[in-house]
Amino acid sequence: MRGLAARIDAALTAPGRWFRLVEVQTLLALVIGWRLLTRDWTLIADRPAALTQHLNVMAWYPGAPPAWLLVALQVVGVAAVVAVVARRRTRLAFLVAWLAYVALCAWWGASGKVMHNDVLTVTVTFPLLFARPPARGETGSSVAWGWPPRAALAVMATVYFLTGFQKLRHAGLHWVFGDNMSWILRQGAVDRAAGLASFVADHAWLAQGMAGGALALELTAPLWLSIRRTRALFAAAVLIMHSSIWLLLGIDYTAWILTVAAVAVPMSLRVDRPLFARPRVPAPQPAREPA
Amino acid sequence: MSTTTSDATESAQRRVARGVTVGTVVALLLVTLSGLEAWPLTSFRLFSTVRTGTSVGLELEAVAADGTRSPVRLPANQVMSTTTHQFAHLAHARPEVQRAKVRAWLATAGIDPATLTEVDLVRTTRSMDPTGTSHVVGNEIVAVVRP
């Protein structure tokens, strides 16, 4: 057990190349920017104060936030994402983008229902707030650049494992082997996929296969994500799982798909291979002498 | 000298790495086991309950002076539509809280409270057969609020 802990520690704290942290941080910032841009956050201001629930990180703020504050946070958050992408005051900019995103999402979800749409992005980006990204022109390897993407992987693996663990804890294997998935599909199917949902629900082996596949993927996430070569496969499997949920039930987990891709795909490459490799310029050939 | 400084920096970064990673993972585990829901801290209960053919839902019904009953329909956007999850706690809320919330829902639905005698919180039990056909098998008024 001690040996395993030592190996995990060594893997976490090994030096890492400068470009990997830049890639993961930039891609995660772009996910945050995309979420900030694609919602009408002013809807929060339309929710009456009496219907605003305060059991979240923004509980300290009294009442409902005004529309101007929501738009200001959105603008500041997007500007901070641009700064991260441009690598200008990256550490501060990433923190500002994260804080704006967390504040807006907390208010968005303060209606009484626990919303998980953005929680993976918020959680996985958290370790990167403590990262010291390379300055422009700084290259090489360092412990400071190695651990943040690995910490993001560890947090991501934990989140997926816990979603599976909670299914087992509260429903047991009946979640897979009972008719649970069939009823989820019958009761929650969106109109566009009613026929497909009904087909799956009516074939127990198919519904149980879907449930078993989803649960297995969640519970084995730490394994997939601990091995470099299977990280990209995990991203592909997550894409299939969340896309099928969106198609059949209309629940949007796009932020989960993009967050997994932002971390798992760069981390699936060889340590010396950048995600966006510059095209190699062929060496100039010596001019041939005429015969 | 510079090597010593570099070693010290690397050691400090290793401590940060362990602290942040282990701290975050342990916090996620503890929050999950405790069942706490204080966004973004969550216990990750995504589809973790077993569904059956029977489902129970709560809805508000506005009762006009002439006895006409009509459902209180909220905007479809996610911010407002999910406030219906507060129905589950409405019956046990203090009367002034019940009234404030109900008046807020009526305002959002564009219903004038002055035209109503009461608003009922109705629990409806539905049974669905394997063909996907749903039947109401029970209706119960669990709270009456005078707006």
B3-37 pLDDT, tens digit each: 666 788 889 999 999 999 999 999 999 999 999 99
Query: CB-based burial of residue A229 (10 Å sphere; 0-12 exposed, 13-18 middle, 19+ buried)?
Result: exposed
**Chain A interface mutation, best of B78, B79, B84, highest count of A Cβ atoms under 10 Å:** B79
pLDDT of residue B129: 86
Q: Work out whether strand A16-17 and strand B54-64 pair parallel, antiparallel, or are unpaired.
A: unpaired
- How long, in residues, is chain A? 291
- ipTM > 0.95, yes or no: no
Q: Which of B20, B25, B39 sits opposite A114 (nearest CB)?
A: B39
Predicted pLDDT at A290: 44
pLDDT band for position A289 (50/70/90)?
A: very low
**What percent of the residues of chain B are helix, what percent strand, and what percent coil, each to the nearest 5?**
45, 30, 30
Instruction: Report helix angle A204-219 to A228-249, nearest 10.
Output: 140
Q: Give A236-263 pLDDT, tens digit per residue.
A: 999 999 999 999 999 999 999 999 999 9
Tokens of A93: 């900019």
pLDDT per residue as tens digits for the range A182-225: 999 999 999 999 999 999 999 999 999 999 999 999 999 999 99
Taking residues A150-165, what's their average pLDDT? 98
Chain B positions touching A47 (Cβ under 8 A) are 79-80, 83
Is the pLDDT reported for residue A116 higher than 90?
Answer: yes
Residues in Cβ contact with B27 at an 8 Å cutoff, skipping those fewer than 6 apart: B41
Instruction: Please report which confidence band the pLDDT of residue A77 belongs to, taking 50, 70 and 90 as the band edges.
Output: very high
pLDDT of amino acid B116: 96
Check if A166 contacts B (Cβ < 8 Å): yes
Q: In whole numbers, what is the pLDDT of chain B averaged over residues?
A: 93
Q: Which pLDDT score is estimated for A70?
A: 98
Distance from the Cα of residue A178 to its chain's centroid: 30
**Is pLDDT at A103 greater than 50 in this prediction?**
yes
Closest by CA to B44, choosing from A152, A118, A160, A59, is A160
- Contact indicator for B93, B143 with CB cutoff of 8 Å: no
- A155–B21 CB contact, under 8 Å: yes
Q: Which residues of B touch A176 (CB under 8 A)?
A: none
Q: How far apart are CA A234 and CA A220, in angstroms?
A: 10
Instruction: Give tens-digit pLDDT for A1-42.
Output: 788 899 999 999 999 999 999 999 999 999 999 999 999 999
**pLDDT at residue B72, as a whole number:** 96
Residue linked to tokens 């690598």: A87
Residue of B5, B15, B46 to mutate, testing the A interface (most A Cβ within 10 Å of its Cβ): B46
Rounded Cα distance, A55 and A49, in Å: 14
pLDDT over threshold 80, residue A59:
yes
B111 token code pair: 């219903």
Q: Which residue ranges make up each domain of chain A?
A: 17-133, 142-271
Interface of B with A in 35-74 (CB under 8 A): 37-53, 55
Q: Find out whether A49 and B103 touch, Cβ atoms under 8 Å.
A: no
Is a pLDDT exceeding 60 seen at residue A283?
no
The pLDDT value recorded for residue B9 is 87
pLDDT band at B131 (very low <50, low <70, confident <90, very high): confident
Is B128:A183 a contact under the CB 8 Å cutoff? Answer: yes
The confidence score (pLDDT) of residue B2 equals 55
Closest CA to A230 of A153, A177, A290: A153
pLDDT at A278: 63
B132 pLDDT tier (thresholds 50, 70, 90): confident
**pLDDT band, very low/low/confident/very high, at A122 (cuts 50, 70, 90):** very high
Q: How far is CA A56 from the centre of its chain?
A: 20
Q: Is the per-residue pLDDT at A69 higher than 70?
A: yes
CA B106 to CA B80: how far, in whole Å? Answer: 12
Name the burial class of residue A242, with classes exposed (0-12), middle (13-18) and buried (19+) by CB atoms within 10 angstroms of its CB: buried
What is the average pLDDT score of chain A?
93
Residue A287: pLDDT over 70: no
- Residue B134 confidence class, pLDDT cut points 50, 70, 90: confident
Cβ–Cβ under 8 Å, residues A21 and A275: no
Share of chain A above pLDDT 70, in %: 95
